[in-house]
Amino acid sequence: MLKAWYDGRFRGKAQVDTVSAADLGAELGERATLLQFSSAFCAPCRATRRTLAEVEGMVDGVRHIELDAEAHLELVRRLDILRTPTTLVLDSTGAVVKRASGAPRKPDVIAALAIAIDHQPS
């Protein structure tokens, strides 16, 4: 029951983690980045990929990057990724602003992106 309540919902994080382009092997988005951790046989990962790609196409300066969790274990451990799909919303500097475990809904992704875009790096 608790899993169903949190599944796909974005939440903030007490500790601010930062992800760099070097960590990802790809450039961050100009305004924000949607970072998705997936695994090979994960059906919700495919749905999440479609949702995040749609949002990427709707919002200028936003980039969607999908990483295979198994191939990036060091980053998975550092960012405390416990399941797939997990989506991290990064601001323009790579700071994690929001995160969701499970498949997020498009309106929730857009709302989290708005926070990341408005987030002023300190």
pLDDT-derived band at 16 (thresholds 50, 70, 90) equals low
CA 23 to chain centre: 14
When pLDDT is averaged across residues 98-112 and rounded to a whole number, the result is: 95
Which two three-digit tokens encode residue 99? 């995160």
pLDDT of 89 strictly over 70: yes
Sign of CA dihedral 78, 80, 86, 89: negative
Structure confidence by residue, pLDDT tens digits, 69-81: 999 999 999 999 9
Top-tier CATH class for 2-118: alpha beta
Contacts of 80 (CB under 8 A, 6+ apart): none
86-91 vs 96-101, strand pairing mode: antiparallel
Average pLDDT of the chain is 89
Model's pTM, two decimal places?
0.86
Phi, psi values for residue 109, rounded to 5°: -65, -45
Q: Would you kindly state where each structural domain of the chain is located, as residue ranges? A: 2-118
